[in-house]
């Protein structure tokens, strides 16, 4: 059974099998329904229904059994109340049942919902669906049908849960429907009002434990798979200990190569060191050739460090036309444009096209310097090569680089970085990870064939059997901090 079905009950008129409405578990011992549903349960015209007995079933359990509960709270419209009632079970609820999760969405209507009710001639129940439209003056929330066919809220749905799949919980309780069925409009009491009424009357209601919402979710990591690297490593005895001399020698021969390392009197490279342009830099007769896997998956720490160093040199060569490396902070950032104007980088997230400002000027917003350029923001990332289960990945950590003129580091770089990161939520950071992954994966317009010495695949993702409803906890957390996530058009700094 799904979560909603485990909580739904069908309420009967006393001493008969006539269904008068619905309800749902809000704790293991309590059922929430409508006050007017309870008023339909007695055979006689009783006026004091507190402690009266109500019979009900859990319709999705087999075999079906009838249970009893007593009315412990009643706030009926007949008495000027909110039309709510709470029933307390007289025996334990079956173990297959569970209380429904109540979700507050005071600021987020236009949500689709489904509800399970028992209209006339359908004692087994039917599903209805629709869309929340927003509050009306009474405090209730208007619901509308959005389909041409199918069931909608009508008599028999009173007291049922208004369920939302995205949030994995109940948004309110159905209380009424327009008498004109052609209008197809109904109303619910939202959970925020339910909590306010029941909090003081049902203490147990405040401490109900709910299991994590059971839903499948694909979780994306910041690990970019290393799809391939150079198949061979070449090692030769060096004829120089000067890195600068090697650089000048290669430049003299018009060789643009970053795939080499000078260490311990040896040259190590993904390039074949027997090629002519290396002749003066190493002893040609000393060249040894190794399968790169011997280094990539070695238990020798020196070999692993040398392999990672070569990968980092390949990465630097791969991005050198667009990115600059900050050695002290160990990250890459987009170079400034020649005219110091905005640079837009278009990319794909799956089938969706999007874009991001990867270099942009920002103006002061107030004071004598208002309207002048205060700083330049460069999109940046730190990359660390890591090995897990014999697979190599590039761990991408997005960040920003701030300059005062597109070149020199801004004197308030650290403060600016702290400010912008205070605004960023998980989705904003993941958007940057996706952008960098797209940039680094093989694109004909970005990289030349020579960069095939290091090729990346996809970001690692995995399926989770349940997920966290971000919409539920973010709405509450962000109310305490920052309401809006900045976009590229949002001013970063006020009062500068």
> SS3 sequence, 356-398?
EEEEEEEECCCCCCCCCEEEEEEEEEEEEEEEECCEEEEEEEE
Please state, in angstroms and as integers, the Cα–Cα distance from residue 442 to each residue in 105, 230, 439, following that order.
43, 15, 8
Q: Compute the distance between CA of residue 348 and CA of residue 438 in angstroms, rounded to an integer.
A: 7
pLDDT at 22: 96
pLDDT at 141: 93
Look at residues 22, 197, 21, 172 and name the one whose alpha carbon lies nearest to residue 101.
172
Q: Residue 144 forms beta bridges with which residues?
A: 131, 185
181 neighbors 486 (Cβ within 8 angstroms): no
Angle at 199 between CA 195 and CA 201, to 5 degrees: 130
pLDDT at 493: 41
pLDDT at 189: 94
21 neighbors 159 (Cβ within 8 angstroms): yes
Q: Compute the distance between CA of residue 174 and CA of residue 126 in angstroms, rounded to an integer.
A: 14
Other C-beta atoms closer than 10 Å to the C-beta of 463 total 9
pLDDT at 205: 67
Q: Compute the distance between CA of residue 376 and CA of residue 359 in angstroms, rounded to an integer.
A: 7
pLDDT at 325: 95
Chain mean position to CA 301: 37
Other C-beta atoms closer than 10 Å to the C-beta of 475 total 17
Residue 375: φ, ψ to 5°: -160, 170
Domains of the chain: 8-207 (2.40.10.120), 213-229+318-496 (no CATH)
Angle at 400 between CA 397 and CA 406, to 5 degrees: 140
Q: Which residues of the chain have pLDDT under 50?
A: 444-447, 449-450, 473, 475-496
Look at residues 120, 119, 121, 125 and name the one whose alpha carbon lies nearest to residue 57.
125
Q: Compute the distance between CA of residue 465 and CA of residue 171 in angstroms, rounded to an integer.
A: 23
pLDDT at 479: 38
pLDDT at 166: 81
Size (the chain), residues? 496
């Amino acid at each position: 059974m799904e979560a909603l079905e485990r909580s739904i009950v069908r309420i009967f008129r006393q001493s008969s099998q006539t269904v008068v409405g619905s309800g749902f578990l809000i704790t293991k011992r309590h059922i929430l329904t409508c006050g007017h549903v309870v008023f339909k349960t007695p055979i006689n015209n009783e006026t004091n229904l507190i402690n009266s007995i109500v019979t009900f079933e859990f319709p999705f359990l087999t075999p079906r059994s009838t249970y009893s509960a007593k009315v412990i709270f009643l706030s009926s419209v007949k008495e000027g109340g909110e039309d709510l009632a709470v029933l307390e079970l007289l025996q334990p609820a079956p173990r297959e049942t569970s209380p429904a999760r109540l979700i507050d969405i005071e600021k987020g209507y236009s949500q689709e919902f489904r509800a399970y009710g028992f209209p006339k001639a359908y004692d087994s129940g039917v599903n209805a669906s629709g869309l929340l439209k927003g509050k009306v003056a009474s405090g209730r929330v208007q619901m509308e049908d959005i389909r041409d066919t199918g069931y909608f809220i009508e008599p028999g749905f009173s007291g049922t849960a208004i369920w939302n799949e995205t949030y994995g919980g109940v948004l309110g309780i159905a209380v009424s429907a327009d008498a004109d069925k052609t209008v197809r409009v109904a109303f619910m009491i939202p959970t925020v009002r339910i909590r306010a009424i029941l909090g003081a009357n049902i203490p147990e209601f405040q401490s109900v434990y709910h299991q994590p919402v059971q839903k499948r979710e694909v979780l994306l990591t910041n690990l970019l798979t290393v799809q391939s690297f150079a198949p061979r490593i070449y090692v030769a005895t060096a004829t120089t200990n000067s890195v600068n001399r090697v650089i000048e020698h290669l430049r003299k021969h018009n060789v643009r190569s970053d795939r080499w390392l000078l260490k311990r009197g040896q040259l190590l490279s993904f390039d074949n060191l027997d090629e002519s342009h290396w002749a003066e830099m190493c002893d040609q007769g000393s060249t040894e050739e190794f399968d790169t896997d011997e280094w990539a998956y070695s238990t020798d720490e020196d070999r692993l460090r040398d392999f990672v160093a070569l990968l980092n040199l390949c990465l630097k060569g791969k991005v050198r036309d667009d990115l600059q490396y900050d050695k002290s902070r160990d990250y890459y950032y987009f170079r400034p444009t020649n005219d110091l104007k905005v640079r837009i980088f278009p990319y794909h997230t799956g089938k969706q096209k999007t874009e991001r400002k990867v270099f942009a000027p920002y103006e002061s917003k107030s004071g004598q310097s208002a309207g002048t350029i205060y700083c330049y923001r460069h999109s940046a990332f730190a990359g660390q090569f890591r090995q897990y289960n014999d697979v190599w990945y590039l761990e991408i950590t997005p960040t920003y680089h701030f300059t005062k003129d597109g070149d020199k580091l801004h004197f308030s770089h650290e403060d600016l970085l702290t400010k912008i990161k205070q605004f960023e939520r998980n989705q904003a950071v993941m958007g940057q990870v996706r952008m960098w992954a797209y940039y680094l994966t093989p694109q004909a317009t970005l990289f030349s064939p020579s960069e095939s010495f290091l090729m990346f695949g996809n970001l690692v993702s995995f399926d989770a059997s349940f997920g966290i409803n971000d919409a539920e906890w973010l709405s509450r957390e962000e109310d305490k901090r920052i309401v809006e996530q900045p976009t590229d058009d949002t001013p970063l700094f006020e009062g500068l």
